[in-house]
Structure 1
Amino acid sequence: MKLLDYIKPLTKEQLEVFATSCGSTVGQIKQVAYGRPASAELAIRIDIASVGQVSCEDIRDDINWEYLRRGTASDDSHPKAA
């Protein structure tokens, strides 16, 4: 789910609670929802605060989250050290 779709139905109070639970502000959350790049840390906090409804990948698709989660590349194009 896109962040904008997630926050649109929220009341002002719910959005404030969500932003606080992300360690952010309503203004910053709205900026990210409308396309401003978020830090990897904020992407993770949004994923956690939305209980996975807005995933890290939805916020930052330029990061190889699979590699970070598993500690291995998703492809085997790089040889492993001996």
Structure 2
Amino acid sequence: METLLIWLDEERGRRLSLASHLGISPSAISMWKQVPVERVTRIEQFTGISRGVLRPDIYGVAA
């Protein structure tokens, strides 16, 4: 989750763009303690952050 938060904060408007891509509100992303499993694939495709980094507890840490 930390990597995603860094990615979101690196450029203005990213949180809004990701939320729009996912069909949710930006505040919903802010409430996550970890990336929801059902959203990992779409977030990976949109951000380029691997699923192993987004959810290492499920996919293992990506090299």
- Name the TM tier (shorter chain): 0.5 to 0.7
1:47 is displaced (CA, Å) by 0.6
Q: Summarize deviations over 1:1-47 as a string: whole Å, max 9, x none.
A: 81011010222x44212211133321222333xxx022212121111
Unaligned runs of 5+ in 1: 66-82
Q: How does 1:17-28 map to 2 (within 5 A)?
A: 17-28=17-28
Task: Give the structure with the higher percent helix.
Answer: 2
Aligned alpha-carbon RMSD (Å):
2.2
Residues matched between the structures, number: 59
Measured at CA, do residues 24 and 59 of structure 1 come closer, stay the same or move farther in structure 2, by a change above 3 Å?
farther
Runs of 4+ in 1 over 6 A off after TM superposition: none
Work out the CA distance in 1 between the residues paired with 2:10 and 2:31.
16
User: Does residue 64 in structure 1 map to residue 63 in structure 2?
Assistant: no
Unaligned runs of 5+ in 2: none
Work out the CA distance in 2 between the residues paired with 1:10 and 1:30.
16
Measured at CA, do residues 58 and 25 of structure 1 come closer, stay the same or move farther in structure 2, by a change above 3 Å?
farther
